Structure 1
Amino acid sequence: MKDFLFRIPVLLLSLFVMEANAQHFNIHNSITLPDKSQQSTVVQRIGYTDITISYHSPGTRGREVWGSLVPYGKVWRAGANENTLFTITHDVKIEGKELSAGTYGLHLLPEKDQWTFIFSKNHTSWGSYFYDEQEDAIRVTVPVEDAPEPRDWLSFDFHKRERGQASVLLSWGDKRAGFDLSLAIDDIALDHIRKQLRSDAYWEWFSWCQAADYCATYKINTKEAIQWVERSIELRENFSNWDVKAKLLRQSGDEKGAQQAMNRAIEVGSDIYLERYGRRLLREKNFEQAEYVFGKALEKNKTYWRAHFNRGNALQAMNNKKAALKAFETALKYAPEGRKEQVKQSIASL
């Protein structure tokens, strides 16, 4: 009995400790509050490649930043709170240095006249507190410059963008610096195109034509692109794929073959496509060929007012005012009410 009575205080003490521990545990079930340095994400796509920078953006709040709030000569997390993340979906070059696809911790080593951007293979640690130089993927050092105007909140921006490259700019306070990024956009694009042509796109004439036209536009991969457009023609010949074939043959130096392809495009093309092609020739100032193509469009549809109208423009450019007037008058006859004034102005210009 005494042992039992002795155990009662011990048991009560144990229950009290358990309850206290439970209360202590509950204290750590904290609520989420807005960050003082709010999270930001910037994303830029170049071709098929996505470049994403995720960071927390601190404010100056009247403080001196460089050399004070952010000390010189010490690795810094290029933001606030967690790791600043730099993610790329394809291999790129940063200032000419290779960086494989993946996610990296982005750090900064600032000096007075230059900043070093550090891409770390470790992107899961907190900030730069656990930064280890041995985990660097690459480092690039760039000059720092005065910002055109002070930036209260730290920001990453894609400062300039071109077809296969961009520059990333870090701005905060009165300073900024950035790095250039480039990628093999054509190799990446062709790899994606080839994979897509092995999917449902295989049975669509338009898919093969699209792929070939991409190559024609950027003057790449001409030999294979000709095979692609020939596949498109096999599925369904039309103005578009013969037009693309003509472009590719011309790029390969086969002018005779290009002209034959263009003749076939005109032969099979609809009035609408021929009128569009005629306008393209007008922009190229090839007025005689444009007038011929508009005439071919009118053979397919003699009431197509826009073909009459633009044929008149071609004839006027050739200084054949009499024929141009006739073409404009015919265009006026068939033009919808909303377009008649435009035609009248052309007649008046003669």
Structure 2
Amino acid sequence: MKTSKLFSTITLTLAIFLSVNANAQKFVKMDKSTMDRAYYPADAAKRTFAKSDDAKMKLEPQIRVTYSRPAKKGREIFGKLLKFGNAWRVGANESTEILFINDVTFGGKKIKAGRYSIIIIPSETEWTLKLNTDLDGWGNYGYDPSKDIVSVSAPITKTDKEIENLSIALYEASKNTVHLKIGWDTSIAEFPISL
């Protein structure tokens, strides 16, 4: 009798355990292209660690770019993986987004504070960057050119050192002018933003 009761208890416990685990939420597999952020000023995300209020104020974020960083992995990127003349989401996975905390001037046009997606159309000699009002997309699949608010072209420069993962940086080029610098493979382009 005791063995039968013990067996029933073990069987019931095992059935509950398997049922709970079968219905448990599973984690999504990790993306191959990790998500990253670029800030202006560069240490804005660390402002809470600043020792004085004055230092914190200097680190208040003004621009933030959120993007995924695909790897080159030996592939031919521009002209092959990314066809010249075709729209590119500037990364992988979700559309790359830029956040302006305050109004800025970009490509000679006043841009209101807010979030915008970034699309680039590469060619052999330049990249044309478009700010678009369509947000929270995946890749280029939902890209609608009618929602572009500005288009800016910049020449590409070539680097001898290969950039394995897509990289974005924001830095002060001169007083009140920040450059959005984008590089991958051996190509780099910079787009000025006036604060």
**Fold shared per TM-score above 0.5:** yes
CA contact (8 A) 2:39 2:61 kept: no
State the identity as a percent: 28
1:202 counterpart residue number: none
Query: What TM-score, normalized to structure 2?
Result: 0.75
CA contact (8 A) 1:114 1:141 kept: yes
Q: Which has the higher contact order (CA 8 A, sep 6+)?
A: 2
2:69 counterpart residue number: 57
1:119 deviates by: 0.5
Q: Measured at CA, do residues 61 and 180 of structure 1 come closer, stay the same or move farther in structure 2, by a change above 3 Å? A: same
- Indicate the SS of the match to 2:41: strand
Pick one of 144, 150, 154 that aligns with 1:132.
144
CA contact (8 A) 1:41 1:55 kept: yes
Cα distance in 1, alignment partners of residues 141 and 25 from structure 2: 25
- Indicate the SS of the match to 1:40: strand
1:242 counterpart residue number: none
- Indicate the SS of the match to 2:146: helix
1:32 counterpart residue number: 28
Q: Map 1:144-183 to 2 at 5 A.
A: 144-183=156-195
Q: Deviations over 1:36-91 (max 9, x none)?
A: 10101011139666100000000000111100111111101000000101000111
CA contact (8 A) 1:147 1:171 kept: no
Cα distance in 2, alignment partners of residues 156 and 116 from structure 1: 16
Q: Does 1:111 align with 2:123?
A: yes
1:160 deviates by: 4.0
Q: Does 1:95 align with 2:107?
A: yes
Name the aligned partner's letter for residue 121 of structure 1: T
Cα distance in 2, alignment partners of residues 167 and 182 from structure 1: 9
Pick one of 38, 42, 46 that aligns with 2:38.
42
1:164 deviates by: 1.2
CA RMSD between the two structures = 2.2
* Larger Rg belongs to: 1
- Indicate the SS of the match to 1:86: strand
Q: Deviations over 1:221-255 (max 9, x none)?
A: xxxxxxxxxxxxxxxxxxxxxxxxxxxxxxxxxxx
1:163 deviates by: 3.3
1:27 deviates by: 8.8
CA contact (8 A) 1:75 1:109 kept: yes
Q: Measured at CA, do residues 166 and 148 of structure 1 come closer, stay the same or move farther in structure 2, by a change above 3 Å? A: farther
Query: What TM-score, normalized to structure 1?
Result: 0.43
1:159 deviates by: 4.4
Pick one of 69, 84, 106 that aligns with 2:96.
84
1:161 deviates by: 3.8
1:125 deviates by: 1.7
Cα distance in 2, alignment partners of residues 147 and 160 from structure 1: 21
Q: Map 1:3-42 to 2 at 5 A.
A: 29-42=25-38
More strand by share: 2
Cα distance in 2, alignment partners of residues 45 and 181 from structure 1: 13
Q: Measured at CA, do residues 71 and 45 of structure 1 come closer, stay the same or move farther in structure 2, by a change above 3 Å? A: same
Cα distance in 2, alignment partners of residues 84 and 58 from structure 1: 12
Name the aligned partner's letter for residue 31 of structure 1: F
Q: What count of residue pairs does the alignment treat as equivalent?
A: 159
- Indicate the SS of the match to 1:128: coil
- Indicate the SS of the match to 1:134: helix
Cα distance in 2, alignment partners of residues 143 and 82 from structure 1: 26
Task: Note the residue ranges of structure 2 that are not aligned, 5 or more in a row.
Answer: 1-21, 43-57
